[in-house]
Each structure stands twice: as C-alpha cells, then as structure tokens.
Structure 1
Amino acid sequence: MHGPMIPQPKAQTVTAQRWSPARVAQRRRSWGGWAAGALAVAVAAGGAIALRNAAPVEQTADANLVLLLQQHSQSKVIAALAAVESGTLAMLDGRRSVVSHPVSAGDTLASLAAAYKLDARSIAFSNGLDPQSPLTPSQKLLIPPVDGLVYRVQRRDTLVAVSERHRVPITAIAKATGPGFQDFISPGQLLVIPGDAEALAAFSRAAAEPANALASLAVTGRGVSKAPRSPRGYVWPVRGFVISPYGPRGGRRHMGIDIAGPSGSPVATVRRGTVLFAGWMSGGFGNAVDVRHEDGMVSRYAHLSRILVRPDQILEAGQILGATGCTGRCTGPHLHLELHVGGRAVNPLPFLK
C-alpha cells in the first residue's frame, strides 16, 4: 500500500532557481529602472501641472522664500515642488500673477470684484480709478491676484523704497507678486503690494507730493535751504542726525558721513558751485551728485532717491539738488556726504559746524 505522495525534489529545485539571489537582484534592477523612469515622468508632469495651474504661494517662511529667490527658474520649480511635498509651502488654488482684463459691456467694478473675489477698491486703485467710476468697454484693467495695489515700478525706484513707502515688508510684496518677482526691479515692472488698497494708494500719493514739490522748487530756483552757514561758509545739506561718522568703520575707512532722515527729504548743496556729475554712480553710491565749489572743494551726495540737477548747472549754497533715499548699497534712507580736497576725502563735519 502506497503512502501519500511527496513533492518531488525537482519542483523544489525549480522554485529555488526562480528566487535565487541572482534572479532577485536582476528583478530588483528591472523594477528599479521602471520606477526611476516613472518617477522622472511624474516629476516632469507634476512640474508642468504646477506651472500651468499657477496658484498663490502662502505661509512661506522668509528663509525659504529667500532661498527660492536666489535660485534659477528651473531650480525654483524643483525646490517649490519639494517644499509643497514636504508641507513647507501650501499651494492654493487661484491666480498667481496680475491679469489684464478687457472690459466688456455691462462690466462694473462691483461685478469684476465679485468675479475675481476681490475688494472693488483693489481693482479701482490699482488702475488709478475712483471706486465709483463707470467702466468703458474695451478699457483694460489690471487685476491683482490678492487684495492690495498693483504698483508699476518708476524710474529710480528700489525695493527698499517701495517697501518703506507703502509700509509693507519686501517678503510680503514678493509673495503677493508671485513668480514674476525679481530681486532687481526695473521701470515698468508690476509689483503686487498686499493690504488695504485705499491706504496703499494714499501712501503712494503722499510720497509723490514731496517729489513734485521738490521738482517745482528746482525748476523755479526757489529751492534754497534756510539753514545757517558755518564760519567756513558751508550749510547742512539735509535735516537729520549723523548715524555714521567719518573714519574707520568695519575694518575699512568711511570716506564721508551718513545723515539719517525720512526718504524723500530735500538735499541741498553745501556751498555755491557747479555740478560735475549727476546720475547713477557705481561703487555702491547709487544715484549721486558731485559739485565743484569755488574754493576747489568737491562735495558728493549719494544714495539719492531723486536727482533734480544736471551736469554744468550752477547751484547756489543751499539749493536743492535731490532727495534722500536708499539707492546703491545701503540699509536705510540717508544721505552719504563726502568732501574732497585735491582728490582726497576729508572729514566734512569741521566744514559744516
């Protein structure tokens, strides 16, 4: 009588051969290659989808934002996708940039505000309109992605100046502007300044009024400082206080004095003279003016937000030549003043006191 059938060794041998270490390694390489290819396709598709369905980036830590801004565009996409995957950034549905909307018959600021889910004032003030203004068909309106103000960069604007003028941090402007944001802004570029549009528009108007007044004074020749002259015949160029004296500073020699004051404050020439240079000066000076005086001294006024004179123009002592700012290499609005004798910088304070 035969007992129960026992599996043949051959079958066991076949099974052992099928899952031998060599076979396992081969199958792993095969699956690994397929997975890598699929992952590459998924990342590429994900990047394309992320770019196509662009949406506002919110809840961005300043450090993360700075890292993204310092990278090239392709690296930005990869870094952003990685940040979204890790939960560092939250990609939300919606627009990420300014939209140019052609007005159709029947459009009103209220209806557009409802369609774009914005405060009507954000659309009105971004386009220089009164919130009650009727719209004209074929008129094109700039629509911000979030409530706030669409600001068109003006000549000689800096990010620091725009940020200070509207009292909104640069990081907030960067996040609201979206991927079109650039560290180095240029005239005509559009920035989105988030916040209450009416208040932001008021800040812009307030900043423009002193500039218009300065320009008017410069044209009429009435822009002359009433500051008293020092015994040497020099006048203080701007109202403010010295925040950085002449001399050693940070391992280097500070070749002038820094006088702090609100951005846009009028800057006057320290003595009668002729304008040698007026424009953008390299070396971190930004907008600057050089004036040669009757006694042979040359004065330099740097980091100006606006220049109101031209080369070869003759200026009286105390005549306004520009406005304080933070152009070039600086950390806040101030006037950098230098005095040169025979091409050598000297301490301006003894001449001003």
Structure 2
Amino acid sequence: MFLRRTVVGVSVVLLALFAASLGGPAAQAAVVEDLQQVAAAVAPAEYAELAARVNSFTRLYQVEEGDTITGIARNFRINRELLAAMNDLEVEAVLSPGQFLVLPYEPERTYEVVQGDTLWEVARAFGLSVAEIMAANGITNPRTLQVGTVLTLPEDPVRREDKAVMRPVSRSRLTSFLWPLIGAITSGFGWRNQEFHHGLDIAAEEGATIRAAREGTVAFSGWRNGIYGRTVILDHGDGYRTVYAHNRDNLVTAGEFVDAGEAIALVGSSGRATGPHLHFEIWKQDQTVNPLRLLGGMPDK
C-alpha cells in the first residue's frame, strides 16, 4: 500500500503512467494538469526556478502533512541522499506542507546483452529477479538470452532508499561512476526549453573540489569554448568519456592518468554559466547518456 502522493508535471499522460508504475491507480495521485497552476502557489522567482528544472527526467512533488525526505524517497523508490541533494536539503530536514520538491525520474531502463551475459547476472546487477525481467520482456526460457537483445528493466519493487552502487555484470559493458561533486542538481539530462541538455548541472560553492568519476587519461584540459568554459575531459579507455565544465581552475593536464576520486578541477562559472556549478556529462562512444543511469547512490555530504 502506497501513501497518497501529490505529483506536479508537464504531461498528464506521463504522470499517470508514472503513478501506475509505482503500483497504485493513477486516479489516487492528485495530478496538476498544467505546470502553470503552480504559479498561483509560489512566488514568481520560485516558480521560474521550478519550471526550469522540470523535464523528462524530473518530477515535482508537493509536500503533504507528515512527509519526510526518507518517507518520500521510500514511496517513490529513489535514493534519499540524491533526493535531498537535488533540493539542497539535508536528509533530516523538516518539510513544510505545500512545499515543492524536485524528484529524479527515469521513464525506462534498458540494457543491451553482450557476449557472456546471463539473465541471472543482469538481474543481480540491477537488483531485480530473473522472473521480473522475464515477465517484462516476454522471455519464456531464461537460458536462451541472445547477444544484442535490448532488455527492458522494470523498477525494483523492493528497492531500499540506501541501495548500494550498481554492481557490474561480469564480462559485460555495465559500469558505474562516482559522483564527481556533491551538491544540488539544478538541471537534469534532457530537453530544457528549446535546447537539449547533455548532462547534469550540480551546484556548489566557488572553489569546491571536482573529482574524477572513474580512472582514466586526461584527453583535454583547458578552455573549450564560450559555452563550456574551462573544461576537463577524461577518456576511460572502454568507449566512455566524462566531461567536467565551467571550472574555475583545472588541476590536471592532458596526458595525465588519474585515479577515480582524484581531484581534477575546482568549481567555477566559466563559459556560459549563471552561477558556480559543475556541468557533468558521460559519453558512450559518440553519444551522451543520462548520468543518473550510471552514477551510484549519492553519498553523504
């Protein structure tokens, strides 16, 4: 049984599907059909900030009496530290009824099967059961998994709010990345107004330390352009690259090898940035991917 939840979003259809995917009828969720309706409940500046953060990978939630960060995270099956960080709050922060929170949301997870994978390994890596993956993909024989098959991964019905970092499937291309910076996520991956935002914007104080999300070689360190500003790019040697932009100072030079978690830059606002933050991207071959798919749980500040 899930608690009643108040969700605000741009698309009624998407929100209805979101509520239904959590296990309860969509009619039980108090859905606001138009984000403009939120304008009557908050100051113009707050409304503009909220509207800018709503995209395909976020939802707005209106706090109800008795809500807590931990309780909301449990109900929506998301990491509580991530939820707190996205809203610049502590996990134990006292919430006020009517307050709006930004929730992370991923409509669908998929995984492409590679040589050596088994259904049992994939299920274990994503915290699912073999039966759940079979049901979601119409598989009748778990031993006939074919290379190149794209599996739809359902949400884990027993996900804990403190679920560990995703474990990689042996011999596969699954991987995980460390958070390069701990702070409020001010913009997610996806369409933002008329532009596609290729990464996460993570706010922090000027001069905060940015760390390598994985070990790799520094492919670029310097002024990239008027948009990205001072940037570091790491090549991880397996088709993945990470980009760290808007830096005040870069602490590494091209050709260096860095370990995961090593300091590589300091937070700034170089390039096209409205304030100090890190713009973080993950590239797989020649395409950006949503960092939230590969980042582990947000650690404590």
TM range (shorter): 0.3 to 0.5
User: In proportion to residue count, which structure has more helix?
Assistant: 1
- TM-score, normalization by structure 1: 0.35
Q: RCO (CA 8 Å, sep 6+): is it higher in 1 or 2?
A: 2
Q: Which has the larger radius of gyration?
A: 1
- TM-score, normalization by structure 2: 0.41
